[in-house]
Amino acid sequence: MKHLLPLPRLVETGSGSAEIAPGSAVSGPAPLTDAVRLALPVLDLRPGDAATSAVRVEEDPRLGPEAYAMTIAGDGVRIAAGDRAGAFYAGQTLRQLLPAEAFRSALVPGTSWTVPCGRVEDGPGFSWRGAHVDVARSFLPKREVLRMIDLMALHKLNRLHLHLADDQGWRVESRAFPLLHEVGSHRPRTITSHKGEELAFDGVPHGGHYTLADLAEIAAYARARAVTVVPEIDVPGHASAVLAAYPALASRPEERYEVLDRWGISPAILSPLPATVDFLTTVFAEIADALGEVPYFHIGGDECVLDDWAASAEISAHQASLGLESTGDLHAWFLRRLADALAEHGSRTVVWDEAFVSGRLRPDTIVMPWRGEHVARRAAAAGHDVVATPVFPMYFDYAEAASPEEPAGLGDAITVADVAAFAPAPPEWPEEERARVIGVQFQLWSERIPDGRTLDYRAWPRGCAAAEVAWTGGPAGPEDFARRVEAHLARLDAFGVEYRPLSGPRPWQRGGSGWRRHRPGAVAVHDVMRHLHELSLSADSTRPSL
């Protein structure tokens, strides 16, 4: 039981082992046994009676949400779970106690399916243990999203934040406004040049979107694996793809808009007028209806250029009619109006930290402070629940080393050790502020993640470190974690994950030439963090930060 990841609260090692042969029986309440079976697919456990079952499961609500206790003795495995998620996570821990072949899709002949005897008591340190996947900049087919859910589940991560819309693409069907996916879901080319170089493009069309049925499937698949899908439609900025489809919603509707073919941020912005609010609430409802239960809905609110609002006589008149003094106040009002509409449908709104700094949020709005600890603490002190998402060390589009052998990253460097050392709720904060930190999440922005293989490389094993921090509630012990993550890589190998080796990229994972090669030192992450902190001190901080 030495190499479990994330680390359980209590691990006691006994003597001897138990066999759980493929096809063994599992007994207990059907929702719990189904969860254990799903966590151990290769074993194909069969429902049976308690007297003959190798695995017995019972519900114990006293353990709390997502918690479990598991005892392994010579006569089999006994699991007590606080709920279905707890049973599923007990199954994932049991999977790690088996040989690494338990992570394969089919039985490997000659495997000894034994587990060491002992006891595990476990439960999460944070309720929000997230992974953010940007499918707007670089679209990922549905199969990659489902695979990401599987990888999250085996690491006890439970929030999949899907960034579904940005300047570079709109990624979900709308039956009410079909031009969103017919026009906004594709671009004719993508930039290949680095910042400061002469513009160059690949000339290759890029696109794709999920149907509403796809969303329903993704959500159901995730729920079965204790993962909640958190959709994001980023407004009112990051709107080029929306406005390419429906330019009448722009602050300057006379302009011509296109899906952006380069990285960075466009000044294109949705108008804050009632027609836009009606449009967005209709689209939000479509997405929520497709997903089913939507406890959280992210509406962005970040990096908005408000100049076109100030220049519009119609928008200025609307602002005055609301009794608002500035476009910053109007930005806050607009997001509050959308949050109120989402609340009527049972969803809590989530925003990036610019929306908090500009004020007027609903008290139940969750803030993701990407610009660092200082703005996170201010949001917590103001009474908002916070999910820690700082660029350092939770932006996995940054390279893992300042080396030209790395594939191109936004900057450098964020290492596995950096992630493992992160404290989402710093111990020096007052307890009431620490209690407001409900979780932590890593971000996979996809300007430099063009496909699933690159997603694997960026996400793992840094995602293993994020899972450790999220589940245990604080930093990992460096030496102990290093040993456990190295052993855990054998499980990822069996699962088929093309992770970044701890020693550096494999020959075929290196950056190659041109835009795919990393430029060491071009963007230093700690310089970025100092700059972001300075920007977050101003209430007029909705403008793009980089």
In angstroms, rounded to a whole number, what is the distance separating the alpha carbons of residues 273 and 6?
47
Q: How confident is the model at residue 265 (pLDDT cuts 50, 70, 90)?
A: confident
pLDDT at 541: 67
Q: Flag whether pLDDT at 129 surpasses 70.
A: yes
Q: How confident is the model at residue 477 (pLDDT cuts 50, 70, 90)?
A: confident
- Tell me how many degrees the CA angle 443-406-192 measures, rounded to the nearest 5: 75
Decide: residue 138, CB within 10 A, 0-12 exposed, 13-18 middle, 19+ buried: buried
Domain limit, last residue, from 92, 122, 152:
122
pLDDT at 103: 98
What DSSP state is assigned to residue 306? -
User: In 345-403, which residue ranges form alpha helices assigned H by DSSP?
Assistant: 353-357, 373-381, 391-394
Positive or negative, the CA dihedral 392, 397, 398, 400 is positive
> Is residue 433, in this structure, part of any structural domain at all?
yes
Q: Are residues 169 and 294 in the same domain?
A: yes
Q: Are residues 328 and 423 in the same domain?
A: yes
pLDDT tens for 304-342 read 999 999 999 999 999 999 999 999 999 999 999 999 999
Q: Flag whether pLDDT at 542 surpasses 90.
A: no
Q: Are residues 109 and 219 in the same domain?
A: no
516: its two tokens: 């795919």
Q: Which residues contact 191 (CB under 8 A, 6 or more apart)?
A: 199, 200, 201, 202, 261, 262, 263
Q: Are residues 157 and 42 in the same domain?
A: no
Q: How far is CA 63 from each of CA 78, 85, 87, 215, rounded to the nearest angstrom? A: 15, 12, 11, 32
Residues 399-402: contacts with CB under 8 Å, at least 24 apart: 399/518, 399/520, 400/462, 400/500, 401/504, 402/520, 402/521
pLDDT at 544: 65
Quick check: 25 and 49 in contact, CB under 8 A?
A: yes
pLDDT tens for 441-470 read 999 999 999 999 999 999 999 999 999 999
What DSSP state is assigned to residue 44? -
Q: Are residues 44 and 135 in the same domain?
A: no
Q: Are residues 139 and 41 in the same domain?
A: no
Q: Are residues 448 and 493 in the same domain?
A: yes
Q: Flag whether pLDDT at 521 surpasses 70.
A: yes
Q: Are residues 107 and 187 in the same domain?
A: no
> Quick one: which of 426, 427, 424, 419 has its CA closest to 440?
424
Q: Which residues contact 543 (CB under 8 A, 6 or more apart)?
A: 303, 304, 305, 306
Q: What is the DSSP string of 41-61?
A: GGG--EE--TTT-SEEEEE-G
> Is residue 1, in this structure, part of any structural domain at all?
no
404: its two tokens: 């030209």
Helix axis angle, 142-154 to 452-459, nearest 10°: 20
> Is residue 2, in this structure, part of any structural domain at all?
no
In angstroms, rounded to a whole number, what is the distance separating the alpha carbons of residues 480 and 466?
15
* Range of the structural domain that residue 61 is part of: 10-122
Residue 73, φ and ψ in degrees, nearest 5: -130, 180
Q: What is the CATH number of the domain that holds 283?
A: 3.20.20.80
> Quick one: which of 475, 480, 461, 473 has its CA closest to 421?
475
> Is residue 542, in this structure, part of any structural domain at all?
no
Quick check: 516 and 408 in contact, CB under 8 A?
A: yes
Size (the chain), residues: 546
Q: Are residues 165 and 35 in the same domain?
A: no
Q: Which of 303, 354, 373, 433 is catalytic?
A: 303
> Is residue 493, in this structure, part of any structural domain at all?
yes
Q: Are residues 76 and 136 in the same domain?
A: no
Quick check: 400 and 378 in contact, CB under 8 A?
A: no
> Quick one: which of 329, 339, 328, 333 has its CA closest to 280?
339
Mean pLDDT confidence for 107-118 = 95
> Is residue 144, in this structure, part of any structural domain at all?
yes
Percent of the chain with pLDDT strictly greater than 70: 98
Strand partners, 407: 517
In angstroms, rounded to a whole number, what is the distance separating the alpha carbons of residues 236 and 270?
5
> Is residue 544, in this structure, part of any structural domain at all?
no
Mean pLDDT confidence for 180-201 = 94
402: its two tokens: 């300042």
Active site residue 59: no
> Quick one: which of 166, 161, 163 has its CA closest to 303?
166
pLDDT tens for 143-174 read 999 999 999 999 999 999 999 999 999 999 99
Domain limit, last residue, from 102, 122, 142:
122
pLDDT at 478: 84
Q: What is the CATH number of the domain that holds 39?
A: 3.30.379.10
Domain limit, last residue, from 98, 122, 146:
122
In angstroms, rounded to a whole number, what is the distance separating the alpha carbons of residues 460 and 437?
24
Residue 46, φ and ψ in degrees, nearest 5: -115, 140
The count of structural domains within the chain is: 2
What DSSP state is assigned to residue 63? G
Positive or negative, the CA dihedral 523, 524, 525, 529 is negative
pLDDT at 543: 64
In angstroms, rounded to a whole number, what is the distance separating the alpha carbons of residues 347 and 324?
26
338: its two tokens: 């959308």
Q: Are residues 14 and 161 in the same domain?
A: no
User: In 40-122, which residue ranges form alpha helices assigned H by DSSP?
Assistant: 84-97
Cβ neighbour number for residue 443 with a 10 Å cutoff: 22
> Is residue 543, in this structure, part of any structural domain at all?
no
Average pLDDT, the chain: 96
Mean pLDDT confidence for 373-381 = 96
Q: Are residues 111 and 163 in the same domain?
A: no
pLDDT at 358: 82
Ramachandran region of residue 346, left (φ > 0), alpha (ψ -120 to 50) or beta?
left
pTM value is: 0.97
